[in-house]
Structure 1
Amino acid sequence: MIEAQGDQLDAVFTNTGICEKNPLGEPQECTYYKVFDVNVKGVFFTVQTLLPLMKDRSSVVGLSLYNASKAAVRSFARTWANELKGRKIRANVLSPGFTRTPLMDNGLKMSETEIDALRQYVEQVTPLGYMAQPEEIASSALFLASADAKYVNGVELMVDGGLSQI
């Protein structure tokens, strides 16, 4: 529809990610493929597919932090920052801290008791003292995609209440 109307994209926000319980020594190969297919392959092919529709000087923002699979996403952003320099397309990654999302209920299958215990833990260890809401992460993604971040490229923005800094 975008292409048919002759429009182009100002930004691509690859908010792709799943997470499932998989303690070391227990993961199944099918879980590995499922997580990497969605978290890595999904991001890669989304950007590749939409790249022809992106305006020069536009922005790619990836949401990350599901461990090893998201390390690949961080690598994509750094590589794309260089590879897309001719078109002045910026590529950045947003790495949220503890955020109360349906992922806790659906992917991680946490009970309300487990979520409450996690919330209490986060309140103690995070410098800002609370668990984020999705809107707080979304506003950072909007910043990275905006013209206000026009000189921000190839970075990983930690939006974690300061936890990664201590």
Structure 2
Amino acid sequence: MHRFTDKVAIVTGAAQGIGAATALRLAAEGASVAVLDRSCTDETVAQITAAGGVALGYVCDVTDRTSVQTTFDATASDLGHPHILVNNAGITRDDLFFRLSEDDWSTVLSVNLTGAYHCAQVAQKFMVAQRYGKIVSLSSRSALGNRGQANYAAAKAGIQGLTATLAIELGPYNVNVNAVAPGYIATAMTAATADRVGMTAEDHQTMVAERTPLGRVGQPEEVAAVIAFLASDEASYVSGQTLYVNGGAR
């Protein structure tokens, strides 16, 4: 299956986890992928090129508008104008609300929500001009509320509102905008959550699996598959939606 032949995709936060899995999935289906992260992207790029795909790595700080503009311009020059944007860059700074610092609040909102705003606003200029685009942003099950994550929950709820609004404004230009809200996915981020509550990643996953209808936690590749669908022309009449990928959890 080559749903993304001749397409250029930008994936933020693509050095590891869901971002890396998404970059690999899009490249495997024919996309030329710009792998963005605030740190080294070499491993993801190497995996894509070793499999015969096309990818270039860029260091980008999504909280810095100049960094985003410069990186997207470089991507357009190196690979071509972007057809797909996956807003995946995200961090957690967990703590109970009564002791949540203003810095941890601002930092999480800046990366997870303002970063998506920066990237979408720059990307849409290319997409509107070519009358084609797919924007998929990462929300989270935490958008519905999660103890110790007031900052993260607020940011991820914001992604859903941003997505719905951009779908309205960009729809007339043939730009689809959707969000994916993962539940518990086995990544470095959830391992950090386990450590915060004094558990090993394995024990924490076992605890979560026991209360998940499918009886297990998710894998990055499973989220990447949903993102790939929403970024494809198979989802051409899907826009403004947030799709939960959480094993049936309520």
Q: Percent identity?
A: 29
- Pair 1:3 & 2:89 matched: no
Match of 2:169 in 1: 83
For each residue in 1:59-115, what CA deviation from the matched residue of structure 2 results, as whole angstroms up to 9, or x when unmatched? 100011241111111001100010012201011010001001111345x37178342
Match of 1:67 in 2: 153
Tell me the distance in 2 between the aligned counterparts of 1:50 and 1:126. Answer: 36
Instruction: Give the match's secondary structure for 1:62.
Output: strand
Tell me the distance in 1 between the aligned counterparts of 2:167 and 2:225. Answer: 22
Instruction: Give the match's secondary structure for 2:217.
Output: coil
- Pair 1:123 & 2:209 matched: yes
- The residue identity in structure 1 corresponding to 2:122 is T
- Report the RMSD for the aligned CA atoms in angstroms: 1.9
Tell me the distance in 1 between the aligned counterparts of 2:203 and 2:115. Answer: 32
Instruction: Give the match's secondary structure for 2:199.
Output: helix
Match of 1:57 in 2: 132
| Aligned CA distance change for structure 1 residues 6 and 137 (closer, same or farther; 3 Å) | closer
Contact 2:191–2:200 (CA under 8 A) maintained in structure 1: no
Contact 1:128–1:162 (CA under 8 A) maintained in structure 2: yes
Match of 2:195 in 1: 110
Tell me the distance in 1 between the aligned counterparts of 2:75 and 2:107. Answer: 29
Contact 2:194–2:200 (CA under 8 A) maintained in structure 1: no
Instruction: Give the match's secondary structure for 2:84.
Output: strand
Tell me the distance in 2 between the aligned counterparts of 1:99 and 1:36. Answer: 21
Match of 1:26 in 2: 99
Tell me the distance in 2 between the aligned counterparts of 1:37 and 1:6. Answer: 28
| Aligned CA distance change for structure 1 residues 109 and 30 (closer, same or farther; 3 Å) | farther
Q: 5+ unaligned residues in a row in structure 1: which ranges? A: none
- The residue identity in structure 2 corresponding to 1:136 is E
Contact 2:86–2:135 (CA under 8 A) maintained in structure 1: yes
Report the CA distance between 1:6 and its aligned residue: 8.4
Structure 1 length normalisation: TM-score?
Answer: 0.89
| Aligned CA distance change for structure 1 residues 125 and 109 (closer, same or farther; 3 Å) | closer
Structure 2 length normalisation: TM-score?
Answer: 0.61
Residue 139 (structure 1) aligned to one of 225, 231, 248: 225
| Aligned CA distance change for structure 1 residues 21 and 6 (closer, same or farther; 3 Å) | closer
User: Which runs of structure 2 are paired with 1:94-105 in the superposition (5 Å)?
Assistant: 94-105=180-191
Further displaced range: 41-50 or 113-122: 113-122
Q: Where does structure 1 differ by over 4 angstroms across 4 or more consecutive aligned residues?
A: none
- The residue identity in structure 1 corresponding to 2:226 is S
